[in-house]
Amino acid sequence: MKIYKLITVTESVLNAFKKLIPQLSSSCDLPTKDDLEAIVNSNNTLLFIAEEHNDILGTLSLVFNKIPTGDKVWIEDVVVDKAARGKGVGKKLIQFAIEYTTSKNIKKINLTSSPDRIAANKLYQKLGFIKRETNVYRLTIE
Ligand SMILES: CC(C)(COP(=O)(O)OP(=O)(O)OC[C@H]1O[C@@H](n2cnc3c(N)ncnc32)[C@H](O)[C@@H]1OP(=O)(O)O)[C@@H](O)C(=O)NCCC(=O)NCCS
pLDDT for position 19: 98
Is the separation of the CB atoms in 73 and 64 below 8 Å? yes
For the chain, what is the domain count? Answer: 1
Confidence (pLDDT) at 41: 97
pLDDT number for residue 61: 98
Residue 102, in any domain of the structure = yes
In a domain, 132, yes or no: no
Determine the 3-state secondary structure of 61 from DSSP. Answer: strand
pLDDT number for residue 68: 96
- Specify the pLDDT at position 17: 98
pLDDT value, residue 134: 95
The separation between CA 85 and the C-alpha centre of its own chain, rounded to angstroms, equals 15
Local mean pLDDT, 10-residue blocks, the chain (142 residues): 98 98 95 98 97 97 96 97 98 98 96 97 98 96 92
pLDDT of residue 26: 93
In CATH, what number is assigned to the domain containing residue 81? 3.40.630.30
Best of 17, 78, 114, 123 to mutate for ligand 1, by most ligand atoms within 8 A of CB? 123
Q: Is residue 141 part of a domain?
A: no
138 lies in some domain: no
Q: Atom 30 in ligand 1: which residue has the minimum CA distance?
A: 123
Report the separation in Å between the CA atom of 67 and the middle of ligand 1, taken as the mean of its atom positions. Answer: 31
Q: Which residues of 72-95 are buried (b: 16+ CB within 10 A; e: fewer)?
A: ebebebbbbbeebeeeebbebbbe
Confidence at residue 94, expressed as pLDDT on a 0 to 100 scale: 98
> Contact at 8 Å (CB) between 89 and 119?
no
pTM of the model: 0.97
Q: Is the CB of 93 inside a 6 Å radius of any atom of ligand 1?
A: no
- Within-domain flag for 86: yes
User: Is 113 a pocket residue for ligand 1 (Cβ < 6 Å)?
Assistant: yes
Q: Considering only CA atoms, which residue is closest to atom 37 of ligand 1?
A: 119
